[in-house]
Structure 1
């Protein structure tokens, strides 16, 4: 029996769905570990994030994305899981490409939880 593990994803910004091109990234862990010497490691907290490539459609919420400082971003995956980023804000440059209308977005936030 086959099992669905990938496919169409959905992104919502404060409940408003945007059109995406498919690529969505969310972290699976909240920490980064690095070995200092075998058997000993250090651990650093990682920022919760969602990275996605969206399409600039009519009514695209540029202002909300650019000015938002406490958004809730939800990534819904085809396998039925969701990642919810709360206290979110856009990081890096927000720009659109003219040849394909793609908007590359990265959001970081206070917390990210898998559901």
Structure 2
């Protein structure tokens, strides 16, 4: 029998669970490496810091307001994945303006933070 590695997932902000729809992505990496090549071959790579994030689509059920999403700064966002792994994004804020898709009843949300750890 196979092991479940994808599917059911949960997202919580400061302990409050939100209705997660889909397109859920956790990106815990805090560095980015980009290869550098010249005309004479590969020279190495450039390493720069990057902002870890958790993003996904939330259902626009009662209890979810755009004002609440817009006000999120210095939050703790927890992602619980189907494979049993959990990630905690600390010092998180929401990114950009939030737009509600009325045809689908969902809103895309991205949280960026200071650090993201697997627990």
1:5 match: 5
**Which has the larger displacement, 31-40 or 89-98?**
31-40
1:8–1:22 contact (8 Å) kept in structure 2? no
Alpha-carbon separation, structure 2, partners of 1:49 and 1:78:
18
Q: 2:114 aligns with which of 98, 110, 114?
A: 110
List aligned pairs for 1:62-73, cutoff 5 A.
Answer: 62-73=66-77
Structure 1 length normalisation: TM-score? 0.91
Q: Which moved more, 1:75-84 or 1:21-30?
A: 21-30
TM-fit CA distance, 1:28: 4.6
The 3-state SS of whatever aligns with 1:40 is strand
Displacement of 1:64 in angstroms is 3.0
Q: Which residue of 1 aligns with 2:35?
A: 35
SS across alignment from 1:8? coil
- Following TM superposition, the consecutive aligned residue runs of length 4 or more in structure 1 with deviations greater than 4 angstroms are none
TM-score normalized by the length of structure 2: 0.89
Unaligned 5+ segments in structure 1 are none
Residue ranges of structure 2 left out of the alignment (5+ in a row) = none
Q: CA RMSD in A?
A: 1.4
For residues 96 and 24 of structure 1, the distance between their equivalents in structure 2, rounded to whole angstroms, comes to 17
Q: Aligned residues, how many?
A: 115
> Residue in 2 aligned with 1:14?
14
Q: CA deviation at 1:63?
A: 3.1
Bigger Rg over Cα: 2
Give the deviation of 1:61 after TM superposition: 4.7
